[in-house]
Structure 1
């Protein structure tokens, strides 16, 4: 049976990979997941979602735990060369959400086989729009977390070998925020820059100055990354542009640092622009908060992983972000990494995770769900204390 299920899950993964869909456009993906679940007799919750699926397995009594997969793809042109490459130009599952979906589908099918003996309910989220950081909000607003006692999720880790498992207590993934800076000067002929205020030079100096935020404004012992990822200005070779736009991201694990960054950014860009005779305006777009794992459930998930045969590691802090953090703000739980052994990393057009991780991870999450439900019943007082630790 395990061999047949492993083949089925790989088939499902390849079907999803061949037909990827962007955030909040996962209509065909939602239809496929729904069909696969219904074919197995798994009930779907009528939450009125536009895209995404929430399924349940188990009796109507006892505690409820949740497992989460994300289902959206990225606006990337695939060049991996695999025979099941994306059929949609400019769209690719370059983050492995097709793998995550197949893992949690497998967990659902395994749990369905022993539904009659489950000591509670397993609710499985197939969440849309993780890449846009708004899918978790959609599910929470729809009531997907109602009465859930603990929530678990995963991300494949291309830098780790297959068969490797990693997580950590406390902060794991970073706070994610986006900024945009508009530099305004005075346009002029490129041959007579003294007649204008050069926004290109001003923007360049702002980029350099922003690198002092981590090194000169906060302790070097803190995690803080400031990256400028887009510069846009001008439309020809012999004119100094009136405006230049900069865009980028700030990542940190410390909420207090996160609160201070916009004010310091404003001070830095304003000072540089003023010195050049220009103006600079900051637009700040807060993203999801840091993923902060509940210590009890992080250690619990490591123990179950070791029992399942994984090589268990203590995960390093990640500067990437995850809207799974929004679930953890509501209920305790943990987010984990499972090795996918890809030569190319996440969001790369040649990203190619190993499919060998899928069935073992599905079996792991089915085991984790069963064990978590049993533990919630046998140790309710201890778990209540642990959830607020």
Structure 2
């Protein structure tokens, strides 16, 4: 064969090889983009939906408070055993952490909270809470059912995973900081990113909402005991009235935001508890007040904490009373602000668009609610989003922490499929360089 013919043959082979690679790459790209829709179709099958609904209702009937989720975690472990999914238990007292995939890096995490609230359910239905004074009034039963649904999807498509998905069934989100304990347990040390969701009555089923940067506020709680001198209500001159002192304290606390905070720096101080006295004609010895304070920046949050203590003790003193203030930092740790990673937010919008269409994504505004998902985001790039529940033509659903809270179970397939899609796509695609968690946004707003 002549040299010219040899060169010509090599050129033809090179062109054929390039064409095959291009075709293969295009097919691969299309396959990746089709994952969200495939997963949603899988999750919307009747048997799959019925299974998730059944799990959610079992959990709803037997609500458990933070770090008491014994039966809930037992149910989770039983379902993971049926799927052949390995897990660690206990994590953070009652938590369960499962693993699907290769068992090798990269690692990406999905999180669901499992705890209920100390609320008496007022919704009359077949699966009403069977535990007096306890209720899943914030949708954590649905979150757990959806994460189990996502786990099943991931296990069914495990051969597509190019890494490992870490499944975090977390205890004690409601004020107890269960996420902080999960982080302290070290089970997420190798995780590159984490995704979490929350059901919401503000959006219709099949819609989601999120935003880049600060999304939810830092949050803390306080309680103050104001001590005076009790006596007969007809002879107040012989008493030191702690109710009067507490009233002055509450009025002064409202001025911390209205007169000391920058109007463009969102802050909240709310007194939600006032206990004192048991009779119409007796001035009590003491009064207890308590509440919450919130801000989007660490500087504002710390300033609020400092001023709350100063106002309570000083105003009590003006009224001749003594006051002590407790911020419960050990039992109820302060929640950091929930701050969504910029690149993960961009990634989330892409995956959401492929599954639901961009018309079903909404850029939400920051709200003063708080989430202990923020503890993950302090250490890892994280993305938190809302999953809509409203159903057109049906009565509007109540918001979280209401005794009339209900879940639209038709939303469960969307949450399961989207969580599974986010994890799968994250492992398949080139992962972006993330900014340092929270640092970019820590002092904004």
Q: Same fold (TM over 0.5)?
A: yes
Unaligned residue ranges in structure 2 (runs of 5+): 1-41, 391-395, 441-445
RMSD, matched Cα: 1.7
Does the 8 A contact of 1:292 with 1:328 survive in 2?
Answer: yes
Q: In structure 2, what is the Cα distance between the partners aligned to 1:117 and 1:262?
A: 49
Unaligned residue ranges in structure 1 (runs of 5+): none
1:346 matched to 2:396? The reply is no
Q: How does 1:42-57 map to 2 (within 5 A)?
A: 42-46=85-89, 50-57=93-100
Shift of 1:259: 1.0
1:347-384 residue CA offsets vs partner (Å, 9 max, x unmatched):
11110121111012111111111111122xx24xx425
Partner residue, 1:314: 363
1:124-159 residue CA offsets vs partner (Å, 9 max, x unmatched):
101011113331122222222120000000111112
Kindly report structure 1 stretches of 4+ aligned residues shifted beyond 6 Å. none
Aligned residues: 385
1:48-88 residue CA offsets vs partner (Å, 9 max, x unmatched):
55312111100022300000000111111111112111111
Q: How does 1:220-299 map to 2 (within 5 A)?
A: 220-286=263-329, 287-299=334-346
1:277-305 residue CA offsets vs partner (Å, 9 max, x unmatched):
22233222342111111111122112211
1:383 matched to 2:433? The reply is yes
Q: In structure 1, what is the Cα distance between the partners aligned to 2:175 and 2:282?
A: 36
Q: In structure 2, what is the Cα distance between the partners aligned to 1:148 and 1:48?
A: 16
Partner residue, 1:197: 240
C-alpha spacing 1:3/1:138, structure 2 compared with 1 (3 Å): same
Does the 8 A contact of 2:91 with 2:97 survive in 1?
Answer: no
Partner residue, 2:36: none
Compare CA radii of gyration and give the structure with the larger one: 2
Q: In structure 2, what is the Cα distance between the partners aligned to 1:52 and 1:159?
A: 29
Q: In structure 1, what is the Cα distance between the partners aligned to 2:67 and 2:200?
A: 24
Does the 8 A contact of 1:296 with 1:386 survive in 2?
Answer: no
Does the 8 A contact of 1:47 with 1:142 survive in 2?
Answer: no
Partner residue, 1:27: 70
**Residues 196-205 or 63-72, more deviating:** 196-205
SS at match of 1:373: helix
1:362 matched to 2:405? The reply is no
1:58 matched to 2:101? The reply is yes
SS at match of 2:351: helix
TM-score, normalisation: structure 1: 0.95
Partner residue, 2:347: 300
Q: In structure 2, what is the Cα distance between the partners aligned to 1:33 and 1:313?
A: 32
Q: In structure 2, what is the Cα distance between the partners aligned to 1:285 and 1:320?
A: 19
Shift of 1:164: 1.4
Does the 8 A contact of 2:89 with 2:95 survive in 1?
Answer: no
1:209 to 249, 252, 256: 252
Q: In structure 2, what is the Cα distance between the partners aligned to 1:75 and 1:251?
A: 22
C-alpha spacing 1:90/1:47, structure 2 compared with 1 (3 Å): closer
Q: In structure 2, what is the Cα distance between the partners aligned to 1:156 and 1:86?
A: 19
